[in-house]
Structure 1
Amino acid sequence: MYDVIGTRASRAFRVLWMLEELGQDYNHIPAAPRSPEALAANPSGKIPALRDGDAVLTDSAAIMTFLADKHRALTNAPGTVARARQDAFTHQILDDIDGVLWTAARHSFVLPEEQRVPEVKESLKWEYARNIARLSDALDGPFLKGEEMTIPDMLLVHCMGWAKKAGFPDAGDKLNAYAATIMERPAFQKAAALP
C-alpha cells in the first residue's frame, strides 16, 4: 500500500486522484508543507511525497509518471513517439501553466513579505491567458492526446481549478467543457471529497 504525504489542497491532489483512477489502495497523510510528517518524507519539507515500501518519491509529476508506468495505465509506453508527445504536453503544462501559477502563489503568500512583488501577478495573468489559449488550440478530442486520458490531462485540469481559485483569466468554453467532463469522473470526485 502507498502512503501519500500532503494535503488535498495542494499538488498532492494529483497523486491522490491518480491512485483513485488506478484503483490502488493508499493511506493519505494530509500533512502541510514543512510539517514533521512532510520533513520526515522530504528534507525540503515540500509536498507531496509518496512512500512505496522503503522508497520515498517526491514531485507530483514524477510520482504520477512512476505510478502510471508501474501500473501501465494513464500513459503511453516509454520509448514510443506517443510517449514523447505525451511528455511534451506534460512539460508544456508544468512550464507554461503550473510554473506561472506557482510564481503568482509565491508572490502572494509563500515568499517572505519583503520579498514579494505583487505587481508581477498582472503579467502572470496575461502569460497564463496566452498559454492556456495554446493548449485550447491543441485540444483535439475528448483528451489532449485524443481518446484516452493521460497524465497531462490530469495536470491541466488540476491547474485550471487552481487558476480559477486564484482569480486568473477564464480558460474559455472549450477547455471549461473538457475540464467539467473530466471532473465528473468518479476517481476525481473521490479524491476531491478527501478531508
Structure 2
Amino acid sequence: MIASALPEAARDCHAPEELLIMTRTTRLQDLIRVLRYHPGPIGGPELAERLGITLRILYQDIATLRAVGVEVVNTPGQGYVLPPEIALPPAALAEPAPWEPAEITFYTHPLSRGGIVHWMLEELGVPYRTVILEYGSTMKSPDYLALNPMGKVPAIRHGDVVVTEAAAICAYLADAFPEAGLAPSPAARGDYYRWLFFAAGPLESAIALNDLGVQPTAEQKMRLGCGDYWALIDTLAAAVEGKPFIGGGAFSAADVYVGSHLGWGMHFGTIPRRPEFEAYWEGLRMRPAYQRCEAYVEQVLAGG
C-alpha cells in the first residue's frame, strides 16, 4: 500500500505484540458496545473512526469476534450490524482467539494490468507488500515462473494461496475480505459475476482482435466467444447506462475491473467514448483509492 496514504498506525504492521494483547480485549468490548447500541448498520470507516482505530485493525477485530462465535453481519453498501439475538461470550472475549492476517504479496509492473489489482487492494484498505517485476527479465525468472508459469503480472500470494489473472484476483480478494463490502451477497451476485467475467472474457478478446486489425467473418464470429465487437460495445453501453455501479446497488470488484477496462480503453482509443461509458467512468475515477493509484503511476513515470 502507498505509505503516504496510510494513517500512521496502519503503516506499522509490526506493532509490539504486548501492546496488541493489552488493548485487544478493550477494543473488542468497545466494538460490541458500539454495534449493539448503534441505530442500524454502520459503515466500516465510520465505525473505525468511532473506535479510534484503523480499518486494518477493525477488520482483524471483526474476524476475531467471528472466530469465537460472535457473527458480525456486513451488509454491502450499508455497513455492519450485530443481530439482537447474538449473545456475547464473556469467556471468549477474555482470551480472544489468536488471529494473525496472512500477508498479501502483490507482484506487478506499474504499466500493466496490475493496475486493476492495485486499485482493488487500495479499496480493501488492508496492508500488502508490492514486488515490482520487469518485462523480459524478472517476470521470466525461475522464482516467479514457479508462481505464474505464464511469466506475466499481476499475481498475488496471500499466505499459501497464489492467484493469477486480474479478474480472478479481484473476485478472490472480495471474498477473502468480506468486511470491505466489495462483493454483493451471494443471492445478489448475478450481475456482479456476469459483468466481471464479461469484461475478462469477451470484452478483452474483442478489444485485442479489433486493435490488431482482425475483422472476423460472420462464420468466425460464431466460433469466437467474444462474437461481434460492436454488438459487445452496445451490450456493455446498455449495462452501464444511467448506473453508478454495474454489479448492483453498491460499488464492487466488478466496477474495479469493468471500470479499469473502460477507462484505459477510452484513453488509448480501443473503446469508443460513448456518453454511457464516460458517465459511468467519471463516477469511478474520482474514488480516493483510484486516485492514489493514479498518483503512484504518475510518480513512476516521473522517475520517482
- TM value normalised by structure 1: 0.79
* Equivalent in the alignment of 2:48: none
2:163 is equivalent to residue 61 of structure 1? no
- Aligned residues: percent identity? 29
CA distance in 1, matches of 2:127, 2:140: 20
2:294 is equivalent to residue 192 of structure 1? yes
1:38 to partner: Cα distance: 5.8
For residue 148 of structure 2, the aligned residue among 15, 19, 42 is 42
Alignment of 1:33-112 (within 5 A): 33-37=135-139, 39=141, 40=144, 41-72=147-178, 73-78=181-186, 80=187, 82-103=188-209, 107=212
Alignment of 1:141-160 (within 5 A): 141-160=243-262
For residue 135 of structure 1, the aligned residue among 236, 249, 260 is 236
* Equivalent in the alignment of 1:116: none
* Deviations 1:142-180, CA, capped at 9 Å, x for gaps: 111342112221112111123224322423112201101
Alignment of 1:9-28 (within 5 A): 9-28=111-130
CA distance in 2, matches of 1:122, 1:193: 39
Whether the aligned pair in 2 keeps the contact of 1:49 and 1:56 (CA below 8 Å) is yes
* SS of equivalent to 2:189: helix
Deviation beyond 6 Å, 4+ runs, structure 1 = none
Larger Rg over CA atoms = 2
1:89 to partner: Cα distance: 1.4
CA distance in 1, matches of 2:159, 2:252: 25
Alignment of 1:108-123 (within 5 A): 119-120=213-214
Q: Per the alignment, do residues 150 and 22 of structure 1 end up closer, same or farther by CA in structure 2, a change over 3 Å counting?
A: same
CA distance in 1, matches of 2:262, 2:215: 16
Alignment of 1:164-183 (within 5 A): 164-183=266-285
* Equivalent in the alignment of 2:37: none
Task: In structure 1, list runs of 5 or more residues that go unmatched.
Answer: 108-118
CA distance in 2, matches of 1:43, 1:137: 37
* Equivalent in the alignment of 1:110: none
Q: Per the alignment, do residues 184 and 91 of structure 1 end up closer, same or farther by CA in structure 2, a change over 3 Å counting?
A: same
Whether the aligned pair in 2 keeps the contact of 1:34 and 1:46 (CA below 8 Å) is no
CA distance in 1, matches of 2:198, 2:150: 25
Aligned length: 180
Whether the aligned pair in 1 keeps the contact of 2:174 and 2:182 (CA below 8 Å) is yes
1:95 to partner: Cα distance: 2.3
Whether the aligned pair in 2 keeps the contact of 1:35 and 1:45 (CA below 8 Å) is no
* Deviations 1:107-150, CA, capped at 9 Å, x for gaps: 4xxxxxxxxxxx31799xxx444322212212253111342112
1:68 to partner: Cα distance: 0.2
* Equivalent in the alignment of 1:7: 109
* Equivalent in the alignment of 1:29: 131
CA distance in 2, matches of 1:184, 1:96: 27
Q: What amino acid sits opposite 1:162 in the alignment?
A: W
The structure with higher relative contact order (CA 8 Å, sep 6+) is 1
* SS of equivalent to 1:120: coil
